[in-house]
Amino acid sequence: MSTPPFVGVETEYGITVDGPSEVNPVLASSLVVGAYRDADDLEVVWDHTDEHPLRDARGYEHPDPHEPLDDEELGLANTVLTNGARFYVDHAHPEYATPECSNARDLVIWDRAGERILEQAAQRAAARLPAGSRVLIHKNNTDGKGAAYGTHENYLVARGIPFGRLTAALLPFFVTRPVFTGAGRLGSELDPRVDYQLTQRADFFEVEVGLETTLKRPLMNTRDEPHADPGRYRRLHVINGDATLCEVATLLKVGTMLLVLESIEAGTSPVLPTLENPVAAFHAVSHDLGCRRVLRFSDGTRATALEVQERYLDAAATTARRRGTSPGEEDVLTRWEGVLATASRDPRALAGQVDWATKLDLLEAYRERHDLGWAHDRLKMVDLQYHDVRRDKGLYHRLAARGRVERLVTDAEVEAAVLTPPTDTRAWFRGECIRKFGTEVVAAGWDALVFDVGRDALQRVPMLDPARGTRALLGEVLDAVDDASGLLERLRG
């Protein structure tokens, strides 16, 4: 693969404070992030210098009608962690953005580390509230009352691939992947006849292509903010996916995308006609628990979501195996083929691997045991509790503890990832500098670190290449210096 397969995922977590005092979501989120930051003595703020969220991949930049506010003015907590991740408040939610990862399995590990960080942060925040208060955190995408919040995937893509080509190649993939990426949810904003559906996000999407992420959500987001060398790369900002808990689902969500992007770059992705109405098709796939709904294409052909996914699998497998796959990529291809084969026989047999099917099993059993209708409030509580990040309360975690969902990574790997970064991306340099040099690092971004070493001006170290800043490249340098001044001297030399 000519473009390095880097990936990161940002997750906005649902938050509620239960107790004697009412706490609004913005304050609650700030308490959660602030409590974690303060307890670990993390003072590194986010560097917004090279951020351009209104720059559009279609070739222009939207004007911002608002005067920019920094985090201090907003009163929002924001920090960078020793594992290379960003932890902050966004749209009244605590948000965890994983460090850059070089493969799908590592992404699973550092995404899971985010759950542990949120669990710890909620406990610390509750200690700052009146007695009897609980801070409840859920890894989901809707509050069940008409509001949605995001899980965004980010992939490095060659700048030379026209954005229109990416859009045409990816829309059918995005529409049909909920078969294995959906987190499942009760009800629908669009159709009262829908008792349960595959995804939490689909109903909230309204247009095919656009820059927005909170209104008129597009299947294909056009934000052109690469966080890397803009002459070589773009960042594909994918906003249509769900927050997944099942490790197989998370692995497939990002692993299949990495392989599909390689086939697009190689010119070997499936040539599919345009869907007649991609947004309506996205809704239809989500509402179809049997995975049998036929989708219509502009040339009059028809196919089910599973048939479309098989086309992408065949192309991705051929492309990857031609150049030689890693064991991790081979695992993704094998699992991708397996979930499609299982879904073709009985989609509900995906329980234990895919969130929507795993949760549906729980809901069906509870509903039948208590003779409840699909709209009953007790069933809604089961739906929500599935996503609780507390390992002793969250229903997903209780299933995992009983061996009823498949695990791909170990608890020891996840606990280590709470504090340490991946070793093979620039996240290693970011996280290790924060750990080793403490207050000398005053700010960090994806593509830069800012040091205060007592000179007249702050010292900014750019990191435009996600493949540099690894332990293999800079481990000896960091081991050889005692402070940031020494590091800067070595880097200049």
**Element (H or E) spanning 45, and its range?**
strand 45-46
Q: Among 71, 90, 314, 452, which one carries the catalytic annotation?
A: 90
Contacts 24+ apart (CB under 8 A), 408-415: 408/105, 408/108, 408/247, 408/248, 408/251, 409/105, 409/108, 409/109, 409/112, 409/247, 413/109, 414/109, 414/112, 414/113, 414/116, 415/113, 415/116
Contact, 346 vs 357, CB < 8 A? Answer: no
Contacts of 37 (CB under 8 A, 6+ apart): 43, 77, 79, 87
Told to judge if 90 belongs to the known catalytic residues of this protein, a careful annotator would answer yes
**Helices and strands in the chain, H and E counts:** 16, 20
Contact, 323 vs 1, CB < 8 A? Answer: yes
Q: How far apart are CA 420 and CA 428, in angstroms?
A: 8
Residue type at 152?
H
C-alpha distances in Å from residue 271, one per residue of 166, 172, 311: 12, 10, 9
336: number of Cβ within 10 Å: 22
Would the CA dihedral through 351, 352, 358, 361 be positive or negative? Answer: positive
Phi, psi of 12 (to 5 degrees): -85, 125
Q: Give the CB-side neighbour count of residue 436, counting CA atoms within 13 A.
A: 20
Q: How far apart are CA 299 and CA 290, in angstroms?
A: 25
Per-residue exposure over 426-445, b if at least 16 CB sit within 10 Å of its own CB, e if not: bbbbbbbbbbbbeebbebbb
Contacts of 327 (CB under 8 A, 6+ apart): none
Helix axes 327-345, 104-126, angle to 10 degrees: 80
C-alpha closest to that of 53 among 38, 31, 68, 73? 68
Q: How far apart are CA 172 and CA 310, in angstroms?
A: 12
In the numeric block, which tokens belong to residue 106? Answer: 């590592």
C-alpha closest to that of 173 among 259, 247, 233, 244? 259
Helix axes 471-480, 484-492, angle to 10 degrees: 120
Catalogue the active-site residues.
Answer: 90
